[in-house]
Chain A
Amino acid sequence: MAEIVFDQVAKVYPGGNTAVQNLSLHVADGEFMVLVGPSGCGKTTALRMIAGLEEVSDGTISIGGRVVNNVLPKDRDIAMVFQNYALYPQMTVAQNMGFALKIRNVPKDEIARRVGEAAKILRLTEYLDRRPKALSGGQRQRVAMGRAIVREPQAFLMDEPLSNLDAQLRVEMRTEISRIQRLLGVATIYVTHDQTEAMTMGDRVAVMRGGILQQVATPDDLYDHPANAFVAGFIGSPPMNLLNAVVDERDGGLHVRFGDQSVVVPERYRQSHRLDAYVGRPLLLGVRPEDLVAATGDAPGRFTATVTLREALGSEILAHLNFGGEEVIVTDDTTTAPAAHSSRVVARLGARAKVEVGERVELTLNPENLHFFDAESGVTLRGGA
């Protein structure tokens, strides 16, 4: 078992296409690190560089303190689980799991012992003599895991291993993989584009975009303190509402204006988010859907909006709301800021909330959980972030 370190790693393909830029990341021994991001963000390339399936253009990758840039994949002592399982169709489950050991001339008894142990952990004992085509998707996934486990490698690399499974099986396998990883305590790098997988499985999550690492943090920290508007918009389902806004100073207090609405900003944000420097300037206001709550009594900072869509999910209702004002959509191109609107939000309401399409509702923003980002760079205005 070992730690994995990326130090200023870059990957540039022939023709100049840069897949990964200046990536520095430390995965501790036994840690479950999730690389997450949209398609083409460089997460799989980063994983393949650790495996030795892609050459490193710049920087170094170390596994267990040894720089492996020029080490052959077979000598890196890592095991990889692929998206489509990549099981050898002509071999049985047991042969698939023991193949890497057989290549290394491990004695047959030892191979049988390790395959037996892994099969027990993965509940595959009764399928050891079957061929992959006679297994279900979930079982194939477990065989792929088993093939990695028997190696007893220094690190596990997993490339979207659940994306070919149906939704229910994916949830089951999520917990299964987490259980096995904790049981074995091997450093694991898990690539996914599914932020739910990232948040539920990872000890820490590294969010990537356009080949650049955006933020590395625990799932809670990532959710509560996103480093930029991209992370804020990517993590969370539904994502954080990002509104084009302007901060004004009136009557000695700060107000944030978005669309035709204006609400008071609690005084503590003045210092924590250095808002004085942004008075009169455009910025992005971030509000999580659960921080838009139905207004009661004469709650300050209330505003009205029209329900345009109601999604009842059983345990909660997602209300898509529109309030007055010109709608501005900031397209997501090369900047770090994601799409932002000035007049549309999604609110997560209780299962019993009485909202109907077309109805006007009164809402307030939870003043404890407001997020402010620079309109140009998308970087959070929170000090010390």
Chain B
Amino acid sequence: MSVATTTPTSRPAARSQVRRRVGRTAIFVAMTIMAIIMLYPFAVMVLISFKTNAQYLIGQGSSTQTWQQINSSLPVWQELWNSTVVCTLSIAIILVIGVMAGFSFAKLQFRGGNVVFLGIVSAMMVPLQAILIPEFVNIAKTGLTNNYLGAVVVYAALGAPFSIFLFTTYFRRIPDELIEAGIVDGLGYWGVLWRLALPMALPAIATVTVLQFIQIWDDLLVGLLFLQNPNERTITVGLAALAAGHTTSIPLLMAGSLVSAAPAMIVYLIFQRFLVRGLTMGIDR
């Protein structure tokens, strides 16, 4: 004859397991609702982009006509190229400044370093709108509003404080002894930066690149003001110009918006793990 026994701890254990399962289900439901809310506009954009303007107005039917005509209605490839050039140049400047300044603040002792660092970090708090007019006046005086450089300089100036902050935080995590080992091995500070510190800072580089890419690619305001040559408009500026036109085709606008959003989304999806790592840097100190 066998007797089934229950240990005194089995009931509370089962209860906690049920509680955990309920909690997990609640989180899953909440996240699903959030995802639907977030994805709904994209779904609408996709659906509308597969209609002609007439179909959109009557609310019936679907067509690929808008997508076939997108390049003739909107200089989409030229504008994508412009966005790529502006993004690449700005991010390159932001990275160079961020890496060099971050290494200096983190590893070189110099008088007033902390105050300067604090000043730079404070610059992150200043909203773009507050400095836009003086910036425009300055850039206009130098005549850079007629080419990429005007927007590139402004984007670089806006992105550099965050980049410096992130790289400083990252380089502070590298032990001083590692830097000193490099110096004793025969490197100067430049050598230590480029041959030792930089290869270790790849996650920080990826984080800055992704965040700045998304920010610059999606930005409208700076592009609208500082890229006044129609041939150098970025995709967001091009879409805004289309929206402001007298005969706006909503399906065309949706298709253009999807084209505009796609690169930022792809970059985000590829590098999101770096992004999380980069943004939580310094928290474990």
Contact = CB atoms under 8 A, between A and B. Distances in A.
B186 A104 contact: yes
A74 B185 contact: yes
Contacts of B187: 74, 103
A52 B183 CA distance: 9
Interface string A160-173: 00000000000000
B199 A80 contact: no
A51 to B, nearest CB: 6
Interface stretch (B61-69, B114-122, B138-146, B173-181): B173-181
Contact of B181 (A78, A80, A104): A80
B59 to A, nearest CB: 58
Interface in B149-178: 175, 177-178
B183 A89 contact: no
A127 interface: no
B178 A78 contact: no
A74 B190 CA distance: 14
Interface string A197-208: 000000000000
Interface string A59-87: 00000000000000110001110111011
A86 B181 contact: yes
Taking chain B's interface residues, is the majority helix, strand, or loop, or is none over half, making it mixed? helix
A74 B186 contact: yes
B256 to A, nearest CB: 43
Contacts, number: 50
Category for how many chain B residues contact A: 10 to 19
B184 A73 contact: yes
Contact of B177 (A73, A78, A82, A100): A82
A22 to B, nearest CB: 26
A84 B200 contact: no
B191 A82 contact: no
A83 B177 contact: yes
A86 B177 CA distance: 6
21 contacts: A51-B184, A52-B184, A53-B183, A73-B183, A73-B184, A74-B183, A74-B188, A78-B184, A79-B184, A80-B180, A80-B184, A82-B177, A84-B175, A88-B182, A88-B196, A90-B199, A100-B185, A100-B186, A103-B186, A103-B191, A147-B185
Given A86-B180, A86-B181, A99-B185, 18 more contacts: A51-B180, A51-B184, A52-B184, A73-B183, A74-B187, A79-B184, A80-B181, A80-B184, A82-B177, A82-B180, A86-B177, A87-B181, A88-B178, A90-B200, A100-B186, A103-B191, A147-B181, A151-B185
Interface of A: 51-53, 73-74, 78-80, 82-84, 86-90, 99-100, 103-104, 147, 151
